[in-house]
């Protein structure tokens, strides 16, 4: 709070950078994430991933010991790559550095060059990606987008590509979405007659059917051949609006292969969805299919039906920067006043971008980047909010304030179905709107002196 001495981050509103990089790698066909650092880092990521996706997740580690921290971890890394290659037979290995290896100044490109020389006799070598992802330099989304850039630079337009597309093709560079949302996006692209390279695609690898027999690596993921052919796309759609322009994978594709790139917000809410569907109509040369215009109409009808429950209510929203920006726009559409908008990321323009989304003349909103849940709670005690929107880490706020939490984003590990949440597109926005209205209605019921069944 203003005037109070700030000592350290308390219950941070973010996750670590290698986690974001790892989930990009898990969305690539037969790719194994490998953390260059201590074993505890991979355990931390597996814990968050398994509790959200409810699937077995393997995150390899170069397994630093005390001697590795003193003399360097080069031998550990080379041995780890060799072990993964011989035991898992992956098509790709995605390396993410950790705070420890970054602080030590580990030269991973040099180690990879040494590995290629020392293990030159191996018959099959996986493709290797590398992401510099120290958590003290950013959040999980920084690691996510850095990994996207690394994968794209490594493979797009590389030798061996013979792919021929029989219909308009686009690249789609994703954000942190649920598997269900990725499946919805693919359904939307297909309805426009578009083929796409969606990177990453963990819609099957992190939310597949039950196995009859154990598999070391689940099916699914963006095919390596499709990533190699990204240079042939008609356009790139990127949901990365927060990375510096020169570090975005879409910008690299544009500069390298002259592929137009459209950066846009996540398609949550009518306005953002309209832009998304109109972009697909332009690229495909086809009008928006009737199934989506009908879904838009049902969403508008839902807004009308539920307006009396949510109009004038006050909300706390937190999470990834893109998440907060997109969901704040949605709240403004439905008449809910955001009173706190917070992200754990450091962002120079987060405040101005949120202010642009809130209607002029609305009540004062507390906007904070580099935030944590303890700081949010201090402000929230006087904010008179009616509900909270964000991931499970914010249950701390809900419990202390006695107001409902609408779970969205990552991670959701205190409810079933986090991997099946779907808030993108017209259909997903309708589901989100219902969740907001129902949370407010249940709160009103719980506070009532009698058991009302009509509200």
pLDDT grade for 4, boundaries at 50, 70 and 90: low
What pLDDT, on the 0 to 100 scale, is given for residue 158? 87
383, 38, 91: which is closest to 368 by C-alpha? 383
- Kindly list the domain boundaries of the chain, sorted by start residue: 17-155, 169-207+217-284, 307-447
pLDDT grade for 282, boundaries at 50, 70 and 90: very high
**Averaged over 270-296, what is the pLDDT?**
97
CA atoms lying within 13 Å on the CB side of residue 325: 22
Cα→Cα distances 453→175, 421, 448, 450, Å: 40, 27, 11, 9
What sign for the dihedral angle of Cα 240, 372, 24, 420? negative
Tens of pLDDT along 165-186?
878 899 999 999 999 999 999 9
pLDDT grade for 299, boundaries at 50, 70 and 90: very high
Q: Taking the model in full, what pTM does it have?
A: 0.93
User: What percentage of the chain has pLDDT greater than the value 70?
Assistant: 97
What pLDDT, on the 0 to 100 scale, is given for residue 124? 72
Tens of pLDDT along 101-151?
988 888 999 999 999 888 877 767 899 999 999 888 889 999 999 999 999
Tens of pLDDT along 69-83?
777 888 999 999 999
Cβ atoms within 10 A of the Cβ of 352, count?
10
DSSP run (H or E) holding 431: helix 425-447
What pLDDT, on the 0 to 100 scale, is given for residue 7? 58
Distance (Å, rounded) from C-alpha 352 to C-alpha 342?
13
Q: Per-residue b/e over 81-105, b at no fewer than 16 CB within 10 Å?
A: beebbeebebbbbbbbbbbbbbebe
Classified by CATH at the fold level, domain 17-155 comes out as Rossmann fold (3.40.50)
316 has pLDDT over 90: yes
15 Cβ neighbours under 8 A, 6+ residues apart: 48, 139, 140, 410, 411
DSSP per position, 250-261: HHHHHHHH---E
Sheet holding 405-407, edge to edge: 366-368, 337-342, 314-318, 387-390, 405-407
pLDDT grade for 1, boundaries at 50, 70 and 90: very low
CA atoms lying within 13 Å on the CB side of residue 408: 31
308 Cβ neighbours under 8 A, 6+ residues apart: none
186, 185, 193, 188: which is closest to 169 by C-alpha? 193
Distance (Å, rounded) from C-alpha 73 to C-alpha 70?
9
What pLDDT, on the 0 to 100 scale, is given for residue 123? 66
Helix, strand or coil, per DSSP, at residue 402: coil
Helix, strand or coil, per DSSP, at residue 401: helix
Paired tokens of 214: 């154990």
Q: Per-residue b/e over 42-59, b at no fewer than 16 CB within 10 Å?
A: bebbbebbeebbebebeb
363 has pLDDT over 90: no
What pLDDT, on the 0 to 100 scale, is given for residue 162? 74
CATH no., domain 307-447: 3.40.50.1980
Kindly tell me the burial class for residue 256, based on how many C-beta atoms sit within 10 Å of its own C-beta (0-12, 13-18, 19 or more): middle
Tens of pLDDT along 226-263?
999 999 999 999 999 888 888 999 999 999 999 999 99
The mean pLDDT of the chain is 92
Task: Confirm whether 169-207+217-284 and 307-447 share one CATH topology.
Answer: yes
Helix, strand or coil, per DSSP, at residue 281: helix
Classified by CATH at the fold level, domain 169-207+217-284 comes out as Rossmann fold (3.40.50)
């Amino acid at each position: 709070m203003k005037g109070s001495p700030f000592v350290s981050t308390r219950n941070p509103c973010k996750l670590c950078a290698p986690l974001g990089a790892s989930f990009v790698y898990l969305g690539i066909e037969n790719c194994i994430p490998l953390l260059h650092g201590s074993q505890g880092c991979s355990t931390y990521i597996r814990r968050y991933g398994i509790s959200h996706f409810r699937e077995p997740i393997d995150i390899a580690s170069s397994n630093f010991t005390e001697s590795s921290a003193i003399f360097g971890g080069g031998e550990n890394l080379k041995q780890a790559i060799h072990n993964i290659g011989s035991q898992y037979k992956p098509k790709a290995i995605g390396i993410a550095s950790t705070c420890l290896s970054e602080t030590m100044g580990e030269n991973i490109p040099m180690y990879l060059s040494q590995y290629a020389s020392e293990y030159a006799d191996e018959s099959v070598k996986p493709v290797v990606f590398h992401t510099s992802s120290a958590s003290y330099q950013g959040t999980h989304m920084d690691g996510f987008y850095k990994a996207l850039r690394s994968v794209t630079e490594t493979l797009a337009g590389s030798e061996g590509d013979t792919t021929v597309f029989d219909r308009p093709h686009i690249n789609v560079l994703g954000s942190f979405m649920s598997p269900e949302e990725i499946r919805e996006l693919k359904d939307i692209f297909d309805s426009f007659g578009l083929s796409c390279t969606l990177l990453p695609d963990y819609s099957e690898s992190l939310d597949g059917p039950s196995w009859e027999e154990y598999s070391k690596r689940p099916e699914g993921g963006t095919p390596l051949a499709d990533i190699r052919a990204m240079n042939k796309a008609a356009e790139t759609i990127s949901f990365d609006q927060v990375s510096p322009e020169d570090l975005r994978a879409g910008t690299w594709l544009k500069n390298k292969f002259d592929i137009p790139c459209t950066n846009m917000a996540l398609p949550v809410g009518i306005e953002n969805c309209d832009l998304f569907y109109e972009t697909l109509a332009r690229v495909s040369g086809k009008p928006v299919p009737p199934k989506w215009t009908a879904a838009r109409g049902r969403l508008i009808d839902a807004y009308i039906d539920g307006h009396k429950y949510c109009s004038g209510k006050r909300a706390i929203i937190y999470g990834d920067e893109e998440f907060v920006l997109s969901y704040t726009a949605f709240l403004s559409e439905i008449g809910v006043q955001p009173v706190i908008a917070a992200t754990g990321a450091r962002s120079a323009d987060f405040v101005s971008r949120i202010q642009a989304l809130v209607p002029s003349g609305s009540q004062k909103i507390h906007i904070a980047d580099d935030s944590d849940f303890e700081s949010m709670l201090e402000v929230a005690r006087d904010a008179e909010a009616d509900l909270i929107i964000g991931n499970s880490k914010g249950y701390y706020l809900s419990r202390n304030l006695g107001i409902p939490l609408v779970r969205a984003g990552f991670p959701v590990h205190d409810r079933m179905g986090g991997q099946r949440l779907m808030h993108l597109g017209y259909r997903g926005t309708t589901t989100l709107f219902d969740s907001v209205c129902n949370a407010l209605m249940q709160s009103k019921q719980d506070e009532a002196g009698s058991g009302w069944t009509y509200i």
